[in-house]
Amino acid sequence: MRLLVSVRSADEVAAAVSGGADIVDAKEPSLGALGAVSARELRSIADQVPSEMPLSIALGDPADTQALQQAMAAVGQLGARAGAAYVKVGLAGTTDHDTLLASAVRMAAETALSPAVIAVTYADGAAHHLPPAHAATRLIVQAGGAGLLLDTRSKHGFDLFHFMPMSAVRTWAAEARAAGLLTAIAGSLSIEGVRAAATLPVDIVGVRGAACEGGRDGIVARQKVTELRAAVLQSAGAVA
């Protein structure tokens, strides 16, 4: 399992990288679960992340293809990288998920960065008529995307496993992997939640608040990232 750490600015990249993150994710936490950083900040973040290190980019929950194109424009300003690149596209902004994801795959391929597209659905999204994990898996496979992230829209009070038990996550992950998808989970996970996540057949676990001094709206701290990295390795090793 790889550890993804979300940063909101270039100033946080060094702590994430030196602390042991496997993937650096550009995201603005004040704009919600999948808030996009500005185009200028994205360029600054990308410049600070080692070229061979995977870079992930949150694009929000676009309401339509026009909004998606505006979000993707910032990605289009980045050059090619030696390491992998991903864009995360949320499904909460529209009900036309087929068109959104197919457009995301096409637009991403037209950029120099050519990032893999990761669809994002939310375990606490039932009230908003969002597709559950198994339905979102089918959607991203049909669109030709690379993977699916299970997250939570709410970042206050409950984590992913409150809304989706570990047994259900395990079943989904096995099905998604069988379909050839990259699997990722996030959602207000504490270090204990990360330890639990590392026992599951999931490729990536993502954090923001647990990696920060002062919580989600604080600042990424090297020591906290190091502790999270150790938790992943210890838990994954225990079930290997």
Active site residues: 27, 88
Cross-strand bridge partners of residue 149: 120, 184
Amino acid code (one letter) for 217 = D
Cα 113 from chain centroid (whole Å): 17
The first and second tokens of residue 148, run together, are 């699916």
The first and second tokens of residue 147, run together, are 């993977």
- Torsion angle, CA of 150/152/157/159, rounded to 10 degrees? 0
Burial category of 49 from C-beta neighbours within 10 Å (exposed 0-12, middle 13-18, buried 19 and up): buried
Return the residue matching tokens 């096409």: 106
User: 16 with 225: CB under 8 angstroms?
Assistant: yes
Cβ count within 10 A of residue 154: 17
Residue (of 95, 115, 125, 113) closest to 34 by Cα position: 125
DSSP label of 132: P
Residue (of 5, 3, 65, 7) closest to 36 by Cα position: 7
